[in-house]
Amino acid sequence: MILKFIQLSIYPIFKSALPRFAYGISYPLSLLFLTILTWYCGLVGVTLYAALIPFAVLMVYFAYMREYDLESLRGNLSWDVVFLLLFIAMLEVRYLNPSVSYGEKLMDHAFLVSIVNNPVVSPADPWYAGGVLDVYYYLGHWMFGAIGAILGIKSTVVFNLILPTVFANMGVALFACGRLLLKRYHWLPVLTLFLVNPAFVWYLALGSPLTSVMWDSTRTIENCITEYPLFSMLWGDPHAHVIAMFNQLLFIFLLMLVYLKWHDLSSRGRILLAIALALSRGSMPLMNTWDVLVYAPLMLLFAVITGLKECRAGIAESACGAQGTGSADGAGGVVHWFTALIRNIPMLVFIG
């Protein structure tokens, strides 16, 4: 219920600016917003319940403004269906095997116990009495430990709700990519969650026992782990890199949205999109630090190519206007290009 509550509370903020995607991306974005708010509450020593106040205020305000009309909610039902189906599917997997007694689940559960029992920043080190958890990226575990602390849920229950929540948010982000890139069959990108790597198919074709195929397919390179999302979900270790997958997919979607739709967005839409990107990118170092090595350069690349695309669009528009008057020349083209570049510097700086 808390996931739906925070999602609905921020959805109207994005509704007018990003009407086709606001409802869906509010699922992962609201989770990131709650995480940051609870983290700062833990940092300054304020009760985590205070993090719910902004969401409650927003929901009351938007309800008063009649933003939650039945027709709008019904039109966005497909997002809820995607989220709910994937959540239930992974919850069933965890129901069949809820144990935390093998693999590295004990480590992940230890982080959760530390946060649920005493949600402060930095969390207590579960192995070193008197120490703090400042040697490992823990924001993903904080995300769910804080929710568990707010709701008063046992850490073992929270543990088994992590992967269903991550899996469902990954599906929503992929569904958003489908709606952005495809005219039909928007659900196709969601199927990537169920793909295996080529090694899985190879071992299966060789007749290897099914019980070993899954594990062997993630050890195809010596001294390396070549996991894929389906393995990570079925294996059941909610490591930092597994929790971070939903944020990675959200970030990729936002970058594509910037490139494809920036020119069509209003000023308010651009600001909201830039804030969403900043939140997603800013969460990476504490959630899974290694992601920054890939996504920070990717973000800069998209900022540059989007800026250049906007510059070219500005030149084309200026040239069309000048063509009617017969005053277009080379010097004018340079001036228009420079003007378009200056116009897009704030976007490049903020997103980059």
- CA count, 13 A, side-chain hemisphere, 317: 11
pLDDT given at position 335: 45
Note the residue count of the chain: 352
Q: Is residue 109 assigned to a domain?
A: yes
**Residues 149, 291: one domain?**
no
pLDDT of residue 318: 56
pLDDT at 99: 87
Please provide residue 322's backbone torsions phi and psi, each rounded to the nearest 5 degrees. -75, -30
- Same domain for 82 and 163, yes or no, is yes
Whether residue 227 lies inside any domain: the answer is: no
**Confidence (pLDDT) at 351:** 47
Structural domain contains residue 201: no
pLDDT reported for residue 350:
47
Q: Are residues 258 and 347 in the same domain?
A: yes
Say if 326 falls within a structural domain.
yes
Say which residue the tokens 């040239």 belong to: 319
Instruction: State whether 31 and 172 are in the same domain.
Output: yes
Which among 137, 148, 171, 164 has a CA at the least distance from the CA of 241?
Answer: 137
Residues with Cβ within 8 Å of residue 273, at least 6 apart in sequence: 17, 18, 254, 257, 258, 262, 265
pTM for the model stands at 0.88
- One domain for residues 183 and 274: no
pLDDT on residue 315: 61
pLDDT by residue, tens only, the chain of 352 residues: 899 999 999 999 998 888 899 999 999 999 999 999 999 999 999 999 999 999 999 999 999 999 898 888 898 999 999 999 999 999 999 999 898 888 789 999 999 999 999 999 989 988 888 888 887 889 999 999 999 999 999 999 999 999 999 999 999 999 999 999 999 999 999 999 999 999 999 999 998 888 889 888 998 888 888 889 999 999 989 999 999 999 999 999 999 999 999 888 888 889 999 999 999 999 999 999 999 999 999 999 998 898 888 888 776 565 555 555 544 444 444 444 444 444 554 444 444 4
Q: Which of 146, 163, 194 is the last residue of a domain?
A: 194
Co-location of 86 and 184 in the same domain? yes
Q: Which of 194, 217, 240 is the last residue of a domain?
A: 194
Model pLDDT, residue 239: 93
| 167 in the same domain as 45 | yes
152 within a domain of the structure (yes/no): yes
Q: Is the peptide bond before 26 cis (omega within 30 degrees of 0)?
A: no
Domain membership flag for residue 78: yes
Last residue within a domain, chosen from 194, 229, 262: 194
Q: Are residues 188 and 256 in the same domain?
A: no
What's the count of helices (H) and strands (E) in the chain, helices before strands?
16, 0
- Look at residue 108 and tell me if it is in a domain: yes
What is the extent of the structural domain holding 297? 251-352
pLDDT value of position 321 = 55
**Predicted local distance difference test score (pLDDT) of residue 328:** 46
Q: How many domains does the chain have?
A: 2
Q: At what angle do helices 245-261 and 291-325 cross, to 10 degrees?
A: 10
User: Coil, helix or strand for 168?
Assistant: helix
Structure tokens of 225? Answer: 């782990």
- What's residue 255's pLDDT? 95
